[in-house]
Amino acid sequence: MDGLNHTNNTVYVKWCEQVAWAHSVALGLDLARYRALDRAMVITHSEYDYLCASHAGDTIAVGTWIVNWDGRLTMTRRFQAIRLEDGTTLLRAGMAFACVELSTGRPRRMPPEFIAGYGPAVLHGERIAP
């Protein structure tokens, strides 16, 4: 809780990062795999729309899905945070990612393992609850 007695906006940012990593891990692309491949998907842009406050005691679910990718260098994720008690959407967010070579920090094509992992997870069309 912050000084305004609600969840601080930076907490939502952290939750989005955590759920994105959890999704990548579920797709078989964890940090160890990134290092072994000398590649990573890094955030190039993010946007957060804070729609409603949450408070102590609220049960919140945060989800993510991939909505766009070019199969070479970039992909886009969407996020949604919902208060489970009443189904209220608290946050909608998006992040753009680019593939980089870890050893140089330079943009590089996605390796076949990224294509095999992330590709089937792409949802075509937005799927956001009201």
CATH number of the domain residue 38 falls in: 3.10.129.10
State mean pLDDT over 2-10.
Answer: 78
**CA–CA dist 61, 36 (Å, integer):** 32
| pLDDT(14) > 60 | yes
Provide DSSP, 62-92: EEEEEEEE-SSSEEEEEEEEEETTTTEEEEE
Give the pLDDT band (50/70/90) at residue 6.
confident
Asked whether residue 66 is domain-assigned, the answer is yes
Q: For 52-111, what is each residue's pLDDT tens digit?
A: 999 989 999 999 999 999 999 999 999 999 999 999 999 999 999 999 999 999 999 999
- pLDDT in the model for residue 1: 62
Count of domains forming the chain: 1
Asked whether residue 4 is domain-assigned, the answer is no
Query: Would you call 57 exposed, middle or buried from its count of C-beta atoms within 10 A (0-12, 13-18, 19+)?
Result: exposed
| pLDDT(119) > 80 | yes
Asked whether residue 62 is domain-assigned, the answer is yes
| Among 57, 100, 63, CA closest to 80 | 63
**CA–CA dist 88, 52 (Å, integer):** 8
The residue range of the domain holding 113 is: 9-121
Q: For 23-35, what is each residue's pLDDT tens digit?
A: 999 999 999 999 9
CA 57 to the chain's CA centroid = 24
Asked whether residue 129 is domain-assigned, the answer is no
**CA–CA dist 69, 58 (Å, integer):** 34
Asked whether residue 128 is domain-assigned, the answer is no
Asked whether residue 130 is domain-assigned, the answer is no
Asked whether residue 43 is domain-assigned, the answer is yes
| Residue that the structure tokens 């489970």 belong to | 84
CB atoms inside a 10 Å sphere around CB 77: 25
Asked whether residue 2 is domain-assigned, the answer is no
- pLDDT in the model for residue 126: 53
**CA–CA dist 54, 58 (Å, integer):** 6
